[in-house]
Amino acid sequence: MSAVGVEQGASRIDGLQGAGEYRPLVGGDPSRTIAFGAGGVVTLDTFLAHVRGVAALLPDAPFALNLCEDRYRFLVAFCAVALRGQTTLLPPARTRGAIDDVRARHPHSYCIGDRDDCGCDAPHDVGHAPAPPHYVRLPDALPTRDGDVPQIALDALVAIGFTSGSTGVPGANPKTWATFHACTLQNLAALADLHGAATLPVVATVPPQHMYGMELSILLPLLGNVAVHGARPFFPEDIAAALRDAPRPPLLVTTPVHLRSLVESGVALPPLAAIATATAPLPQALAAEAEARFGCEVRELFGSTETCIFARRRTALEQAWTPFDGVRLQPVPDGTLVHAPHLPEPRLLADIVELDAAGRFELRGRQADMIEIAGKRASLADLTRRLLAIDGVRDGVICQSATPDATGVRRIMAAVVASPALDDAALLDALRASMDPVFLPRRIRRVDGLPRNETGKLPRAALDALFGPSAG
């Protein structure tokens, strides 16, 4: 069986929504590399043997939470769950609270992981949390079984992704194999210029449970000539070591937080095919500095758990986003409708966009973060971008208090990670030069780091806790 050709992808997407049809779980020559790492490579035929072997270990249940930290084992577990006709649940975080919340919504579920415990985050003073009920621990040596290449029904519900909770309670977003298949063909087409006929190695710092990590480090190796590194490196030295394991210049899939850390670390990286980033806005200055530092293009990708990736831009050189082929945006009063070949129906985004004549777009904030003071309107996201553009500010956010104060006003506040040389007065002077004074923060909180989750987002609950009960 031959791999799905990138050049064929666009023409095949429209036929991927039919019920009762099947597509292979994975494509390509059995000898091609699907994963690599410090221990060597894994070929497609070995991977499929692992998938069939793990599938035989799984209990009979409709849902599985995939908590694997090793990316290759996550890939095997995801495919094994699909092979059993089950649905993978992708929690918004690997904290015990997030896992318990998802399992409460899906009581007939189990967890699968690669640690003796659940591998989820826990308070630093108590170590890892104990294993949740119905926890399946993958054996150190993955079992193998012979068989044919699995076929998955296009209308099979293979995953449910949960939003990060950055704007409130995490929401559930079901994904069929048709949706994943089609969006992966679009992503492969968008990256085709990076590797031609050669295998594209991918090293990712983002967790596979996040939809961005799922798309670029789990689905790409299944349907395209892509191989993924099994690790999820965090520190700059670890990222550099993982990149050196690649047989040719790899694609680094990362976030703005990790990219800034790499740029500031001074760590030397091997040659890269490109850098992809998403999950949070990428400052243009950081994109330009990364391109100069690492000698490759930085591509910022735009999407969401609801829509998957549907647009890109080279942030160092352009402000506008270019939608993928077949994607059309429609501004509506509550945000923007996304029409895309991989979506069974248009999906509503809270983002407000401005379209040009060619269909490219620029973001103008979100309906939920639009504020009005003294008859003037502004976007909290735009105010935050102005804060991050100030020399000496390493990270920061501008937000409104969760509750009104005694006068009934929700105050504007800022949390910043900044150089000590940039005191509050100098910070306000710099903000005053770029924004209307009515939007200046009335409270500034200096912190060593913002409470970002592992994908770089700022959950609303974490922000509220940062400012405390006096924030209102």
- Domain CATH for 381: 3.30.300.30
The model's confidence at residue 185, banded by pLDDT at 50, 70 and 90, is very high
Q: What is the pLDDT of residue 123?
A: 39
Determine the average pLDDT of the residues in 150-164: 91
Pair 42, 94 in one domain: yes
Pair 189, 233 in one domain: yes
Q: What is the pLDDT of residue 133?
A: 61
Asked whether residue 372 carries a pLDDT value surpassing 80, the answer given is no
Contact 20, 155 (CB under 8 A): yes
43 or 369, which is more confident? 43
Q: Please, how many CA atoms are within 13 Å of residue 355, restricted to the half-sphere of its CB?
A: 14
Distances from the Cα of 372 to the Cα of 376, 409, 443, angstroms? 5, 11, 18
Pair 247, 388 in one domain: no
What span, in angstroms and rounded, lies between the C-alpha atoms of 290 and 319? 17
Q: Range with the lowest mean pLDDT among 152-156, 164-168, 311-315?
A: 164-168
Pair 108, 233 in one domain: yes
Which of 344, 364, 384 is the endpoint of a domain? 364
Q: Please, how many CA atoms are within 13 Å of residue 15, restricted to the half-sphere of its CB?
A: 8
Give me the phi and psi of 11, to 5 degrees please.
-75, -15
Query: For the purposes of burial, counting CB atoms within 10 Å of the CB of 464, is it exposed (0-12), middle (13-18) or buried (19 or more)?
Result: middle
- Asked whether the whole model's pTM tops 0.85, one would answer no
Q: What is the pLDDT of residue 172?
A: 87
In a domain, 45, yes or no: yes
In a domain, 4, yes or no: no
Contact 331, 362 (CB under 8 A): no
The model's confidence at residue 327, banded by pLDDT at 50, 70 and 90, is very high
Three state DSSP letters for the chain: CCCCCHHHHHHHHCCCCCCCCEEECCCCCCCCEEEEECCEEEEHHHHHHHHHHHHCCCCCCCEEEECCCCHHHHHHHHHHHHHCCCEEEECCCCEHHHHHHHHHHCCCEEEEECCCCCCCECCCCCCCCCCCCCEEECCCCCCCCCCCCCEEECCCEEEEEECCCCCCCCCEEEEEHHHHHHHHHHHHHHHHHHCCCCCEEEEECCCCCCHHHHHHHHHHHHHCCEEEECCCCCCHHHHHHHHHCCCCCCEEEECHHHHHHHHHHCCCCCCCCEEEECCCCCCHHHHHHHHHHHCCCEEEEECCCCCCCCEEECCCCCCCEEECCCCEEEEECCEEEEECCCCCCCEEECEEEEECCCCCEEEEEEHHHEEEECCEEEEHHHHHHHHHCCCCEEEEEEEECCCCCCCCCCCEEEEEEECCCCCHHHHHHHHHCCCCHHHCCCEEEECCCCCCCCCCCCCHHHHHHHHCHHHC
Q: What is the pLDDT of residue 330?
A: 95
In a domain, 5, yes or no: no
What span, in angstroms and rounded, lies between the C-alpha atoms of 309 and 303? 4
Contact 162, 87 (CB under 8 A): no
In a domain, 222, yes or no: yes
In a domain, 3, yes or no: no
Q: What is the pLDDT of residue 216?
A: 97
Which of 330, 364, 398 is the endpoint of a domain? 364
The model's confidence at residue 79, banded by pLDDT at 50, 70 and 90, is very high
Tokens of 329: 């945006």
**Unique residue bearing structure tokens 């015990």:** 96
Q: What is the pLDDT of residue 9?
A: 36
Pair 239, 317 in one domain: yes
Mean pLDDT for all residues in the chain: 87
> 431 lies in which domain range?
374-471
Pair 409, 440 in one domain: yes
CATH number of the domain where residue 87 is located? 3.40.50.12780
Query: For the purposes of burial, counting CB atoms within 10 Å of the CB of 268, is it exposed (0-12), middle (13-18) or buried (19 or more)?
Result: exposed
In a domain, 7, yes or no: no
Asked whether residue 369 carries a pLDDT value surpassing 90, the answer given is no
Query: For the purposes of burial, counting CB atoms within 10 Å of the CB of 19, is it exposed (0-12), middle (13-18) or buried (19 or more)?
Result: exposed
Pair 321, 354 in one domain: yes
Neighbours of 426 (CB within 10 A): 14
Pair 348, 409 in one domain: no
Asked whether residue 112 carries a pLDDT value surpassing 90, the answer given is yes
In a domain, 369, yes or no: no
Q: What is the pLDDT of residue 311?
A: 97
Pair 37, 181 in one domain: yes
Determine the average pLDDT of the residues in 388-412: 83
In a domain, 283, yes or no: yes
Neighbours of 182 (CB within 10 A): 27
Give me the phi and psi of 341, to 5 degrees please.
-60, -30
Asked whether residue 64 carries a pLDDT value surpassing 80, the answer given is yes
Q: What is the pLDDT of residue 10?
A: 33
Tokens of 22: 């099947």
Q: What is the pLDDT of residue 124?
A: 37
Percent of the chain with pLDDT over 70: 89
Determine the average pLDDT of the residues in 218-246: 96
Distances from the Cα of 159 to the Cα of 53, 65, 105, 466, 467, angstroms? 21, 10, 14, 33, 35
Pair 426, 341 in one domain: no
Indicate the number of domains in the chain: 2
Pair 336, 405 in one domain: no
Pair 354, 381 in one domain: no
Task: Give the strand pairing for 370-373 and 22-24.
Answer: unpaired
CB neighbour list of residue 123: distance below 8 Å, 6 or more residues apart: none
Which of 364, 392, 422 is the endpoint of a domain? 364
What span, in angstroms and rounded, lies between the C-alpha atoms of 224 and 199? 9
